[in-house]
């Protein structure tokens, strides 16, 4: 399987669980399709064939072929260029059933609007959190399960992730999603506001947030005040990281 980014040549350090998920996804690829995800270093899209190799690594150019067969390849390409190829069929019209029903399409996130992911088991609390974040002009994404949540984060950028400590019904430090957030590369992690919600937390207690690799912790009882908490968090984030992130971008880093 691929071990370094074909764009920036940086090593791709996958955990065992990440490797297993990638191999599983590759094994389920329909014929002719590829698996795409962003490099955590340079943020360029990496495209893998079902064999786990970069799609761009296929021997498509003459310079990559042995000199002895280059003339034959050029002759074949010249002949292929003389064959009339029918124009491709136009793409089908988009499905707008969601528009007519007044709903939203979760799978097609609007890139120009900041997106938040909400992973909370209690339906009432989940709806309350989603409503508060929507009022802050965020698009809400609701994953079906933890595997879908993790895969979505690999391919999309989220500004806010709200996760409840009881979602997987086991100790927080052993929950797959929380471990994924703890192991995330800082190139991606520093742009995510990771909010942990749970009955064991003391709202805005920085020591608890630091111990759990989160930006902030919120007790269940203080969820109704999430809008005020978000306002404070965004202000604190700008003061702490804005200059740092600007400096990184000026030096070609992320």
pLDDT at 63: 43
Query: Which residues have C-beta within 8 Å of that of residue 39, sequence separation ≥ 6?
Result: 5, 7, 8, 10, 12, 45, 46
How far apart (Å, rounded) are the C-alpha atoms in residues 171 and 32?
A: 42
Q: For the chain, state the CA radius of gyration.
A: 23
Q: Which pair of tokens denotes residue 242?
A: 């804005």
Largest CA distance in the chain: 74
Domain membership of residue 28 (yes or no) is yes
Domain membership of residue 93 (yes or no) is no
pLDDT at 78: 59
- 48 with 135, same domain: the answer is no
Structural domain boundaries enclosing 114: 108-250
Are 245 and 252 contacting, i.e. CB atoms less than 8 angstroms apart? no
Domain membership of residue 79 (yes or no) is no
- 29 with 127, same domain: the answer is no
Domain membership of residue 39 (yes or no) is yes
The pLDDT tens digits along the chain (254 residues) read 677 787 777 777 777 777 777 778 777 877 778 878 777 777 788 887 877 777 754 433 444 455 555 566 566 655 555 555 567 777 776 665 655 555 444 444 444 578 999 999 999 999 999 999 999 889 999 999 999 999 999 888 999 999 999 999 999 999 999 999 999 988 888 889 999 999 999 999 989 999 999 999 999 999 999 998 888 877 666 665 556 556 666 666 55
Domain membership of residue 89 (yes or no) is no
- 120 with 224, same domain: the answer is yes
- 145 with 231, same domain: the answer is yes
Beta-ladder partners of 11: 4
Q: Total structural domains in the chain?
A: 2
- 53 with 112, same domain: the answer is no
- Report the predicted TM-score, pTM, of the whole model to 2 decimal places: 0.53
Taking alpha carbons only, the member of 125, 100, 104 closest to residue 113 is 104
Taking alpha carbons only, the member of 23, 31, 32 closest to residue 1 is 23
- 50 with 134, same domain: the answer is no
Domain membership of residue 40 (yes or no) is yes
pLDDT at 233: 79
Q: Identify the CATH number of the domain in which residue 156 sits.
A: 3.40.50.2300
């Amino acid at each position: 399987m691929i071990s370094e980014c074909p764009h920036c040549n940086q090593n791709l350090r996958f955990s065992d669980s990440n490797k297993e998920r990638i191999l599983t996804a590759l094994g389920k690829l329909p014929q002719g399709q590829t698996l795409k995800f962003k490099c955590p270093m340079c943020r360029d899209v990496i495209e893998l064939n079902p064999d786990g190799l970069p799609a761009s690594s296929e021997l498509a150019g003459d310079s990559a072929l042995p000199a002895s067969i280059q003339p034959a390849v050029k002759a074949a390409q010249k002949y292929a260029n003389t064959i009339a190829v029918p124009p491709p069929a136009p793409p089908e019209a988009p499905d707008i059933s969601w528009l007519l029903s007044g709903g939203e399409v979760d799978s097609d996130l609007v890139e120009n609007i900041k997106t938040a992911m909400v992973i909370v088991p209690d339906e009432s609390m989940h709806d309350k959190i989603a409503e508060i974040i929507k009022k802050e002009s965020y698009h809400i994404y609701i994953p079906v399960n933890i595997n879908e949540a993790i895969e979505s984060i690999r391919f999309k950028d989220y500004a806010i992730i709200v996760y409840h400590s009881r979602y997987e019904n086991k100790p927080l430090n052993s929950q797959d999603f929380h471990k994924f957030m703890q192991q995330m590369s800082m190139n991606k992690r520093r742009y995510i506001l990771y909010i942990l919600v749970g009955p064991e937390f003391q709202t805005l207690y920085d020591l608890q947030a630091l111990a759990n690799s989160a930006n902030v912790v919120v007790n269940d009882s203080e969820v109704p005040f999430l809008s005020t908490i978000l306002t404070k968090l965004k202000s604190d984030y700008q003061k702490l990281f804005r200059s740092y992130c600007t400096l990184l971008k000026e030096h070609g880093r992320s």
